[in-house]
Structure formats: C-alpha cells, structure tokens
Structure 1
Amino acid sequence: MFSIGEFASIGRVSVRMLRHYDEIGLLAPARVDPHTGYRSYQGSQFAVLGRILAFKDLGFRLDEVTRMVHGGVDERALHQLLAARRSELAHQLDLDAARLRRLDARLRHLEGEPLMSTIATDLKPLPAARVAQASAVAQGFGPENITPIIGPLFGRLAGALDDAGVSFGPESLAMYEAIESGAGEEVRAYAAFPVGKHVGEGEGFSIAEVPAVPLAATTVHYGSMDTIGESWEALHAWIEENGYELAGVCRELYVVSEPEEQQNWVTELQQPVAKAQGSRGPNGA
C-alpha cells in the first residue's frame, strides 16, 4: 500500500488532485483509515491513474474521463469520442496555423512589406436582395466563433424552407452584426437564401430585404472556412491601402458550398466601402 503522498509522487500528480479525483468518484483510494482519514492506494491503481492522465492530456473533461475509465462507454463509443476529439484538435491546428500566417504578415508589414495587398479585388455595387433568413448568436467574430454557428444555422434554415415548400439556392448569403447589449462581444449571425417575391414568412424563417450597396470591395475566398479570416484581413488591407474606408456591414456570398467538401467552396467576400476623405483611390486615381 502507498500513502497518498507516495502515490502522488510516483504518479506525478498533486495530492490535491488525488483528493479531487476521490471526491468526484474518478479514483478512490483502496483504503481510508476510519480513525485518521488517511488515504492509501494499491500499486495496481497506478495503471488507472495512467489512463486518467492520458485522457486528460488529450483534452477530455473529467466527466468524460470518468465514463471512459470506469467502463461507461464501450469500445465503439470510445473510438467515436477519440475521433471527435481528433477532429477538434485538427480544427484548432488549422485556426492556429492561419493566425500564425497573419502574424507573420504583420511582422513583414512592420519590416516594410505591404500588408497582403496582392489579392484580386473588385469594386462594384451590390444589388438589393429579398431573402429568407434565420439568425443565431455567436460569441464573437472570427472563424473560431462563427464556424460552429453558421453551418448548423444554414442547415436549420434549409430544412425550414424545405418543409414550407420554398425553392432556394444554390447561392446563399451570410451577414454578421455586433450586438450592443450585454458584454458587447456577441455577434448576431444571419443565414439567408434569396427567394422570390411570392414567398412569405414561415416557421423557422423570416423574410427580409437586404438593401443595395452603391460600392463594395469584393474578393473571392477559395476553400475552407478555417482560413477565411486571412482573406478578410487581406481585403481590409487592400481597402486601407487604396484609399477607401468601411461603410457598412460585411457579407459573405457562398457561390459554391454544401454539399461540396469545404476545400471546394467558393465564397465572395463583400465589404461596403466609401472613398476616404482626401484619398485619390486605387493606384492614385
């Protein structure tokens, strides 16, 4: 038998953590002295502790670890949990890699290089559109907040339109607005499909008129939504470098999306702009 201090030292965890594991039913000591309350552990429990630490290292919550360690999931369910966690980690790696590229671009900009101004950009008006839309709240801007919200939102909207017998697609539109109430960090995301004049509101969607925009800077993003932030930053850099300023809520027009794989998606980024005061416009014009 090992005292709690010995077991903690050999197992490379803190005594406080072992006590917490006991409290939540994750790893109970083999024996508790009824008079002193001292905890003792058996050598065979090091294997259990090792599994706990391995699953924790993979980022699982303690309630998930408890189920996995104590047989609350079968082999198939365990495989599904591990596969899902792998997908989460891969997604986070993509986001971090995109952030690293943007950070490198900022560093190069400080060293005198233009900030990603080589993208293909068009200046054009945006027509008005009548859309069926649904909305949901994200915890902020950026792919890490928007991506988990906007995909399911489009799915629910498409289902509601199907149920109502409304034809839509293939193009779709997303818009994002900051929410002023509360902490001021939340964003309302809108998923929308253009529809005809005869379509009225139904269960799960409303009808809105998206106004025309006299002038917008646009560029095309190809592929995954995980890296769309880079394209947005490139577009904003072009706007600043060419003598324009932001003049309205941005839009994303999905030209090619579901059911295609994301690497095949085509998304037009649309940012309403106006000529900045004292600016001569692109290329000094």
Structure 2
Amino acid sequence: MLSIGDLARHTRISVRMLRHYDALGLVVPERVDPHTGHRFYALSQIWRVDSLIALKELGFTLEECGALLDEQLPVEQLHGMLRLRRSQLEQRMTADADRLTEVERRLRSIERGLTMTNRTLKLGPLPAIRLLHLRAEVNDESEIGGAVSKLTQQLDAMDLPGQRIHTYDGRTDKIEVSVGVAAEEPRHGLELTELPAEPQGASVTYRGPLEGVADTWRTLDVALDEQGLESYGVYRDLRVDTQDPQQVVVELQVPVRPTS
C-alpha cells in the first residue's frame, strides 16, 4: 500500500490534487484509516493517475477522463472523441505553424530593416514637397494598413500621374494617414498641399518586400535614439519603385530633433 505522499512522489502530482481527484471519485483510495483519516492506495493506482494525467494532456475534461478510465464509454463514442481531439490538435498545429512562419517573417523583416537603416541612414535638411492626396484618420498603428489600402484604391481610380507619397501625422488621439502624388497644380478637385521644408531630418532608403516598410520605421527610431535624436511631426514615405511588391524601393523621411 502507498500513502498519499508516496503516490504523489511516484506520479509527481501534488497531495492537494490527489485529494481533489478523490473528492471527484477519479482516484479513490484503496483504504482510509478510520481513526486518522489517512489515505492509502494500491500500487496499481499509479497507472490510473498516470493515465488520468495523460488523458488530461490530450484535452479531455475530468468527467471524460473518468468515463474513459472506468470504461463507461461505448467504443464508438470513444472513437469519435479521439477523432475529434485529433482534428483539434491538427488545427492547433496548423495555427502554430502559421504563427511560427509569421514570427520568422517579422524577424527577417526587422533584420532587413536594421541593415537598411545602418547602411543608408542620412541626416540633413528635408525639402518641401507639394502633393495632391487623400486623407483618413485612424486610432492606432494597427489600422494604418487598412486605411492606406482604401486610400490607394481611391487614388488609383483617379489615374493621377506622379510619384506616390504616403504621410503619417501622429497626434494626441488620432493618426492622420494620407496617400497622394507629387504635383505642382490641383487636379480632380484635390487641393494642393505642401509639406514644409525641415531644417533637420533623417532619411533611409529601404529595398525589399513591401510588407517590411513598417518594420524599417521602427528600426529608424532605434537608430535615431542611439544618436540622441527623436522623430516628430509628419512622417514621409516616398514610393520610388513599387512595380514588384517583393522588391520595392522606398525612401523614408522624418523631421528629427535632439532627444528632450
């Protein structure tokens, strides 16, 4: 016979959990001392505890574990439960594989952004830019991609010639996003807007998949911080060449100032 402490050591389950299983009728002591209340278990119950834990790790509920251990389920029902659990595990594996792929993509994107930033970072004044653009407001960075996509579709429909320029103006409660083209005169009812020249700015030239541009902005902020600078104001995203989405050329520009 094994004491509850012995069974806990053999199965690596806490005494508290064994008492819980006893209360649920899942692992009932072979004998309970009527005077002390001490629980004693048969050696064969080590297998029952191990099987219970194995079933739990497969995702079965304690009620289902009890029925399986006591062989109270018809074979057909057991077969169905196991098939369902297999399907759930396969779905989880697929989802985990997708997440791993995304993590690896982000790692490559950040590493590429760091390389581009370190190689092409330039400090100096930024020129004024005139453009025609469409604007939208978003609540945070997670909404920027969707806003840019919608604005791009609208601008494409206007068939405006000129270099594409995106701008991002972070404010206290909103971010203003715009998609436009460099221009010298109004067209299609759009007003001509001018981004003012900035006396001190930073620029980075990014080359790679279009989806990596956002991570390059982040690495640019890190590089500026290392030089005692911080970005502010309107961020400029000049699309130099976007014919191939997997190998775009984009110039990122932002006003900078000494870190306060």
* TM tier, smaller: 0.5 to 0.7
Residues 260 and 98 of structure 1: is their aligned pair in 2 closer, same or farther, counting only changes over 3 Å?
closer
**Residue in 2 aligned with 1:168?**
161
Unaligned runs of 5+ in 2: 1-25, 27-50, 65-71
Residue 12 to residue 91, structure 1, CA distance change in 2 (3 Å): closer
The structural deviation recorded for 1:256 is 0.8
- Check 1:151–1:127 CA distance in 2 against 1; reply closer, same or farther (3 A cut): same
Q: Percent identity?
A: 16
Q: Residue 104 of structure 2 corresponds to which residue in structure 1? A: 93
* CA RMSD of superposed structures (Å): 4.1
Unaligned runs of 5+ residues in structure 1 are 19-37, 61-84, 106-115, 278-285
Aligned partner letter, 1:168: P
Matched with 2:154 is 156
1:227 to 206, 209, 212: 212
Counterparts in 2 of 1:96 and 1:237: CA distance versus 1, 3 Å: closer
Equivalent AA in structure 2 for residue 211 of structure 1: L
Aligned-partner Cα distance in 1 for 2:198–2:124: 10
- Give me the TM-score of the superposition, normalised by structure 1: 0.53
How many residues matched? 197
SS in 2 for 1:42: helix
Instruction: State whether residues 132 and 182 of structure 2, in contact with CA within 8 Å, keep that contact through their aligned partners in structure 1.
Output: yes
Give a deviation string over 1:19-57, Cα, whole Å, max 9, x none.
xxxxxxxxxxxxxxxxxxx99761331223312331133
SS of 2:234's equivalent? coil
Contact kept in structure 2, 1:119 and 1:234, CA below 8 Å: no
The alignment status of 1:267 with 2:260, answered yes or no, reads no
CA, structure 1 residues 239+47, in 2 after alignment: closer, same or farther (shift >3 Å)?
closer
- Give the letter for the 2:55 counterpart: S
Q: Cα–Cα, structure 1 residues 276 and 178, in superposed 2: closer, same or farther, change >3 Å?
A: closer
For 2:217 and 2:239, how far apart are their aligned partners in 1? 14
What CA distance in whole angstroms lies between the structure 1 residues aligned with 2:155 and 2:181? 9
Query: More helix by proportion, 1 or 2?
Result: 2
Larger Rg: 2
What code does the residue aligned with 2:59 have?
V
